[in-house]
């Protein structure tokens, strides 16, 4: 579909960000959730070659073209989702983790997630008291068309409620929470199944964490202005 090469000089010891010129696709096969269409995936491979050395590093990923949006419905208070402009009736399953001893094999993930798809679900919600799920989990959600609602590690019971009442300002180290959150986002953000980040379970994180998460996860202004369809979400 696309092959593009760019040349670049990187100073000694430098750590830089580089953005490729945008790649154009005419009517690509879109990625759809389970029951709405195919889960079309494109392989994106990026390679860096260094003059006089040859291939230096490479990366590849299964990428799906899809646009997911959601809003709170004023009439019902429920969250309405659209995928690729089409409203979707969410049929979801709650997920904590695959195994309490964290024996998280690919085969186990595949079996569990295919089972959700076979049940005609189209979303899995990863509960805030459990894990930020692993790339292998997301891989099979990409394959089987399960949207993922991923919560960060806040629960009402451990962060503000319970008996005795727990600390609403938890965790103790807010900077550490944000370090972990930002790194988790970087680990998972390219998966087409990733639909929604949520601060926690039945509770919002402390104000400073909540504001930082909202700020870091909002749509970049470049895409806000670029994307003419964003207003439909």
Partner 1 sequence: MAELGKTELDSGWLAARSTEVDLTGIQLTTTHPPSLNSSSSPWMEAVVPGTVLGTLLKNKLIPDPFYGLENDAILDIGDSGRDYYTFWFFTTFKCAPSGNQHVDLNFRAINYSAEVYLNGHKKILPKGMFRRHSLDITDILHPDGQNLLAVLVHPPDHPGNIPPKGGQGGDHEIGKDVAAQYVEGWDWMTPIRDRNTGIWDEVSIYVTGPVKIADPHLVSSFFDNYERVYLHATIELENRNDWVAECSLIIHVTTELVENACLV
What is the set of active-site residues? 202
Size of the residue set binding partner 1 (CB under 8 A): 99
User: Which 3-state string (H, E, C) describes 92-155?
Assistant: EEEECCCCCCCCCCHHHHHHHHHHHHHCCCCEEEECCCCCCCCHHHHHHHHHHCCEEEEECCCE
Cα–Cα nearest to 217, from 198, 202, 203: 198
**Secondary structure, 3-state, 163-175:** CCCCCCCCCCCHH
83 lies in the binding site for partner 1 (CB under 8 A)? no
231 near partner 1, judged by CB under 8 A: no
For strands 42-50 and 54-63, give the pairing. antiparallel
Site string for partner 1, 130-149 (x = CB under 8 A): xxx-x---------------
Q: Which of 44, 143, 196, 217 binds partner 1 (CB under 8 A)?
A: 44
Q: Does 129 bind partner 1 (CB under 8 A)?
A: yes
Q: Confirm or reject binding of residue 12 to partner 1 (CB under 8 A).
A: yes
When the beta carbons of 65 and 91 are compared against partner 1, the nearer one is: 65
**Which span (74-82, 109-117, 142-150, 168-176) binds partner 1, by CB under 8 A?**
168-176
CA angle 119, 124, 127 (to 5 degrees): 135
| Binds partner 1 by CB under 8 A, chosen from 37, 65, 92, 114 | 65
What DSSP state is assigned to residue 75? T
What minimum distance in Å lies between the beta carbon of 116 and partner 1?
A: 18
How many whole angstroms separate alpha carbon 173 and alpha carbon 95?
A: 26
Rule CB under 8 A: say whether 43 interacts with partner 1: yes
Q: Nearest Cα to 198, choosing from 156, 151, 155, 158? A: 151
Out of 36, 67, 114, 217, the residue judged to bind partner 1 by CB under 8 A:
67
Interface pick for partner 1 out of 36, 80, 143, 180 (rule CB under 8 A): 180
Q: Report the C-alpha dihedral over residues 113, 119, 120, 126, rounded to 10 degrees.
A: -40
Residues 85-124 that bind partner 1 (CB under 8 A): 85, 96-97, 100-104
Stretch that binds partner 1, among 52-60, 75-83, 116-124, 141-149 (CB under 8 A): 52-60
For the CA atoms of 196, 125, 137, 114, the dihedral, rounded to the nearest 10 degrees, stands at -120
The yes or no reply on residue 36 touching partner 1 (CB under 8 A) is no
**Of 76 and 186, CB closest to partner 1:** 186
């Amino acid at each position: 579909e696309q092959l593009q090469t760019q040349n670049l000089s990187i100073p000694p010891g430098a750590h830089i960000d580089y953005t490729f010129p945008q790649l154009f696709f005419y009517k690509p096969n879109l990625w759809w959730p389970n029951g709405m269409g195919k889960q079309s995936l494109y392989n994106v491979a990026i390679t860096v070659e260094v003059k006089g050395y040859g291939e230096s590093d490479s990366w590849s990923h299964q990428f799906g073209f899809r646009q997911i949006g959601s809003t709170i419905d004023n009439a019902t208070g429920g969250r309405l989702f659209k995928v690729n402009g089409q409203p979707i009736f969410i049929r979801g399953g709650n997920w904590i983790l695959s195994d309490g001893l964290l024996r998280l094999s690919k085969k186990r993930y595949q079996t569990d997630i295919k089972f959700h798809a076979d049940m005609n679900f189209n979303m899995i919600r990863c509960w805030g008291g459990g894990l930020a799920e692993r790339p292998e989990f997301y891989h099979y959600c990409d394959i089987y068309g399960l949207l993922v609602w991923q919560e960060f590690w806040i629960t009402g019971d451990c962060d503000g409620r319970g008996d005795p009442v727990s600390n609403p300002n938890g965790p103790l180290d807010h900077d550490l929470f944000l370090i972990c959150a930002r790194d988790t986002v970087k680990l998972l953000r390219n998966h087409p199944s990733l639909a929604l980040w949520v601060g926690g379970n039945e509770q919002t994180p402390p104000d400073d964490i909540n504001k930082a998460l909202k700020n870091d996860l909002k749509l970049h202004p470049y895409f806000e202005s670029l994307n003419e369809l964003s207003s439909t979400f």
